[in-house]
């Protein structure tokens, strides 16, 4: 017997991040209804006790709080306000939680559509990567009405260890874009540095060990450098990294804010995508571009 609609959580998008996040909602004791384009993911969650749904509209028909965790702005708009989206079934008092890194302007448009149904939208993109998603230690950067956040807080608590409210709708995502920009630009400088050292004859493994205990160390370095040494290129797709930087630079253009390093980094990632690396990890596979240009390999 499933709980009432008011006590049920919906989740759309069971990918690398969304899958473990949805699992943590189940572990916290919430009834869950799920939707994904991959039927194998649905089958897995049915085995965990979740209910399958045919569409985002079907999810919203069964749950009063719905989480959207998809890749792109277009996908989020389809999930939230599309013809078979959550808005089609949303009721007064419902909250849709967009946890994707997407366009803040699109979030404001979607909020207006949901408001016509008496429902609220908050944006709550997260920092912490796949490890944080599995362990429930993500940080949520939230934008939206405070009362909507409070209605969604029990669900966010199941997936995160910290919830930070930055203001109106879109501001959480703006903060996430800025955080991502720092990491994604750093990944380029890390690949450049390791390729330079390898070209100069330094041992890449010794370089990584030394930098990891010196002033050049960072969270970005600890993510990408060990992956580069291990030739581990499975992770955050370069296509997603490029998408994030496109959002960052577009936001800067709309605000007439100069952006030098992000624009250069975007072109380096575009080189990687042009070389067929779009489905490989942006933080580590980008080193292949520098290896091609320098004629050396950065490997342990």
pLDDT digits (tens, 9 = 90+) for 32-41: 999 999 999 9
Is 44 inside a domain boundary?
A: yes
User: Does residue 285 have a pLDDT over 90?
Assistant: yes
CB-based contact 71:36 (threshold 8 Å): no
**Final residue in a domain of this structure, among 167, 184, 202:** 167
| C-alpha–C-alpha distance, residues 282 and 188, integer Å | 9
pLDDT at 300 (0 to 100): 80
Cβ-in-10-Å burial (0-12, 13-18, 19+) of 264 comes to exposed
**Helix (H) / strand (E) containing 107:** helix 104-115
pLDDT digits (tens, 9 = 90+) for 160-176: 999 999 999 999 999 99
Which CATH number covers residue 20? 3.40.50.720
Count of domains observed in the chain: 2
CA 263 to chain CA centroid, Å, is 20
Known active-site residue 176: yes
Q: What is the model's pTM?
A: 0.93
**Final residue in a domain of this structure, among 111, 144, 167:** 167
| C-alpha–C-alpha distance, residues 173 and 191, integer Å | 27
Tell me, yes or no, whether 188 and 125 share the same domain. Answer: no
Tell me, yes or no, whether 154 and 11 share the same domain. Answer: yes
Q: Got the DSSP string for 175-196? A: HHHHHHHHHHHHHHHHHHHHHH
| C-alpha–C-alpha distance, residues 59 and 46, integer Å | 14
pLDDT digits (tens, 9 = 90+) for 97-135: 999 999 999 999 999 999 999 999 999 999 998 999 999
- Of the pLDDT bands very low, low, confident and very high (cuts 50, 70, 90), residue 24 is very high
Tell me, yes or no, whether 17 and 155 share the same domain. Answer: yes
Question: Which residue in the list 41, 176, 199, 253 is annotated as catalytic?
Answer: 176
| C-alpha–C-alpha distance, residues 155 and 25, integer Å | 7
Is 299 inside a domain boundary?
A: no
User: Does residue 283 have a pLDDT over 70?
Assistant: yes
Range of the domain at 22: 5-167
Taking CA atoms, 33 is separated from 79, 145, 235, in Å, by 15, 25, 27
């Amino acid at each position: 017997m499933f709980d009432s609609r008011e006590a049920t959580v919906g989740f759309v998008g069971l990918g690398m991040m969304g899958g473990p996040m949805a699992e943590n909602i189940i572990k916290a004791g919430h009834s869950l209804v799920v939707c994904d384009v991959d039927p194998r993911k649905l089958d897995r969650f049915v085995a965990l006790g979740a209910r399958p749904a045919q569409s985002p509209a079907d999810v919203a028909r069964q749950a009063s709080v719905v989480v959207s965790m998809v890749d792109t702005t277009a996908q989020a708009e389809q999930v939230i306000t599309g013809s078979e989206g959550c808005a089609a079934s949303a009721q007064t008092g419902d909250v849709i939680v967009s946890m994707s890194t997407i366009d803040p302007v699109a979030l404001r448009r979607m909020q207006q559509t949901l408001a016509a149904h008496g429902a609220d939208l908050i944006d709550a993109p997260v920092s912490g990567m796949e490890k944080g998603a599995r362990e429930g230690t993500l940080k949520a950067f939230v934008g939206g009405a405070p009362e909507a956040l409070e209605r969604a807080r029990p669900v966010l608590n199941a997936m995160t260890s910290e919830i930070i409210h930055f203001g109106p709708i879109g501001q959480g995502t703006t903060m996430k874009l800025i955080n991502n920009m720092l990491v994604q630009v750093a990944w380029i400088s890390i690949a450049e540095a390791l390729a330079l050292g390898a070209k100069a004859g330094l041992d890449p493994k010794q370089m990584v060990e030394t930098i990891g205990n010196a002033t050049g160390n960072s969270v970005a370095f600890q993510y990408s450098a060990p992956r580069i040494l291990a030739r581990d290129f499975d992770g955050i797709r370069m296509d997603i990294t490029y998408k994030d930087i496109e959002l960052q630079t577009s936001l800067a253009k709309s605000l007439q804010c100069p952006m030098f390093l992000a624009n250069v980094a975007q072109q380096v990632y575009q080189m990687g995508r042009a070389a067929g690396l779009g489905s490989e990890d942006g933080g580590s596979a980008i080193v292949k571009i520098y290896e091609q240009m320098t004629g050396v390999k950065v490997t342990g």
